[in-house]
Amino acid sequence: MSLDTRPPRQTPVRRVATPRERDEERGLPTRSLLSALVLACVALMVVDASSGAASPVDPVRRFAGEVLGPVQAGASNLLDPILGIPGWFRTNDGLRGDLADAQRRIADLEAANHQDSYLANRADELGRMCALVDDTGYAVAPARVIGYGSAQSFSNTVTIDAGTDAGLHADMTVVNPDGLVGRVIQVSSHTATVLLVIDASSTVGGRVGDTMENGMVSGHGGLADDQPLELQLIDHTIVPQKGQPVVTWGSEGGAPYVSGVPIGEVSKVFQDLRLGTYRTVLEPYVDFTSLDDVGVVVPTGGAGGAGVIEPGACS
């Protein structure tokens, strides 16, 4: 039996590093250095605050501004567009919403303006209709033109939105604020057909307003301005003068035309040398291409139904 005479193995004791050594290994400044930096900063602050305008720190401050200012500005110019992208999207969406709101408000204002213009025109038409009623002394049942006759009918007619329920019947005079429109030729319960005085089959007794000379006014069958009315006076030796007004002569019993309703004025006079007569052209007061509000002459005293405009009712 052998004995191990080697000395026992000793485990080396590992030395524990001090905090300062650990900081040095990590590359961190020592506590004494940090303390010195803090004390230096405090001293600079005290010196800067106590020196007033002439601070010994000013050269350092200017140097830092001259060196770091351009760097900071360049970095800001580079990063601001990138950092502003989210805000740009938010701003763009907001602008789109504001633009849509503005467009809606503009559309609403335009619609209101159009409505106001329409209502103003209707009010003006009603006022002038009242003036015509007062001037002629006739009561009228108000109506609106809701359609023109088709070209295939070979006649110039319009349809109005009043009929027998409003007291209308055939052979009633139809006017608008400007003058004579035509006469009723057909009636249903809620509508009526009106033959316009410009139709080729229309003949109206006319009278020159300031001379009281009588004649017949005939249509030429067209709505165009170059197809006016024609006046043939009973006395062929009378020469009408340009600008003279012509009104309705009037039928017996006021049907189909009552008297005194303006028709138009003399625009041209031509002499027929072969027949020794004169052809007188009338410019109608009514614009037949823009008919809207009209009135049908009815008996006074409410016999024409509800809504009748009586003389003096609008004053």
Strand partners, 208: 246
Q: What is the pLDDT of residue 214?
A: 94
Q: What is the pLDDT of residue 117?
A: 65
Q: Band of the pLDDT at 252, cuts 50, 70, 90?
A: confident
Q: What is the pLDDT of residue 221?
A: 82
DSSP letter assigned to residue 13: P
φ, ψ for residue 100, nearest 5 deg: -65, -40
Look at residue 64 and tell me whether its pLDDT is greater than 60: no
119 to each of 114, 122, 165, 277, how far by Cα in Å? 9, 5, 26, 48
Look at residue 227 and tell me whether its pLDDT is greater than 90: no
Contact between residue 158 and residue 147 where contact means Cβ atoms under 8 Å apart: yes
Look at residue 312 and tell me whether its pLDDT is greater than 70: yes
Mean per-residue pLDDT over the chain, rounded: 78
Average pLDDT over residues 203-215: 91
Average pLDDT over residues 183-199: 94
Look at residue 145 and tell me whether its pLDDT is greater than 90: yes
SS3 call for 198: coil
Q: What is the pLDDT of residue 7?
A: 59
Q: What is the pLDDT of residue 277?
A: 73
Encoded amino acid at 189, one letter:
S
Average pLDDT over residues 35-48: 68
Q: What is the pLDDT of residue 73?
A: 60
Look at residue 14 and tell me whether its pLDDT is greater than 70: no
Name the maximum alpha-carbon separation found in the chain: 178
Q: What is the pLDDT of residue 22?
A: 64
Q: What are the tens digits of pLDDT across the range 90-108?
A: 566 666 777 777 777 777 7
Look at residue 16 and tell me whether its pLDDT is greater than 80: no
Q: What is the pLDDT of residue 132?
A: 82
Average pLDDT over residues 242-248: 94
Look at residue 69 and tell me whether its pLDDT is greater than 60: no
Tokens of 212: 């009281």
Q: What is the pLDDT of residue 219?
A: 93
User: Angle at which helices 85-136 and 58-83 pack, to 10 degrees?
Assistant: 60
Tokens of 11: 């485990």
Q: Is the peptide bond before 70 cis (omega within 30 degrees of 0)?
A: no
Residue 208: how many other CB atoms lie within 10 Å: 21
Contact between residue 200 and residue 220 where contact means Cβ atoms under 8 Å apart: yes
Q: Band of the pLDDT at 118, cuts 50, 70, 90?
A: low
Domains of the chain: 138-298 (2.40.10.340)
Q: Band of the pLDDT at 279, cuts 50, 70, 90?
A: confident
Q: What is the pLDDT of residue 217?
A: 96
